Amino acid sequence: MTAVSPATKAARHEQIAWILEHLQVRSQEELAALLAERGVRVAQATLSRDLEEMGAVRLRGPGGALFYALPAGPGSPGARPGGVGAAEAEGAFTGTLPRVAAELLVSAEASANLVVLRTPAGGAQLLASALDHAGWPAILGTVAGDDTVLVITRDPAGGAGVAAALLRQAERKGAEERRA
């Protein structure tokens, strides 16, 4: 499957975020050239605005050179939604996902790379958003209705692992809250 990026601001921001996560970019000119290599042409003024909107900062590297970076953490400017890392495989989720899963997850069933999550009426959007922002590389994306979330995993057989991890997380967080 070939990835396709439209010429939108959101797609451009995704490209910028990916570049800044993987490379130490020292100037806007360098960033513009890297974007151009990826098929994204952008004016310097637009790029400057993008960096400001995304919350980019300049950090000093070990050699003293300044480079652009985005703030880390789900929900912060420049944070990228989802993409199971090792921590998630062991159940060590961060952010709002543990609480939201404990409160809203009613059931999780898997088939190949698909997981169907059930929530109480009106809860699917919140659970899908928490999943999207959890930074869980095993998840390609989510689609939410009113009480059902469809999770698509990257691995053709990854649904069962994602469903099991979510159920474990919801049970663990729920048990912690009952003890408190």
pLDDT in tens, 68-120: 888 764 444 344 444 344 344 444 566 678 888 988 899 999 999 999 999 99
Residue 93 has a pLDDT of 61
Same domain, yes or no: 95 and 171: yes
- How far is it, in rounded angstroms, from Cα 154 to Cα 142? 12
Pair (34, 99) in one structural domain: no
User: pLDDT by residue (tens digit) across 130-163?
Assistant: 898 887 889 999 999 999 999 999 999 999 999 9
Q: In the listed set 36, 69, 102, which residue is the last one of a domain according to the structure?
A: 69
- What pLDDT, on a 0 to 100 scale, did the predictor assign at position 19? 93
What pLDDT, in 10s, does the model give residues 42-56?
Answer: 999 999 999 988 888
Q: CA–CA separation, 180 vs 178, rounded Å?
A: 6
Q: Which residues are registered as beta bridge partners of 57?
A: 69
Domain boundary among 34, 69, 104: 69
Identify the domain containing residue 34 by its residue range.
Answer: 9-69
The number of distinct structural domains making up the chain is 2
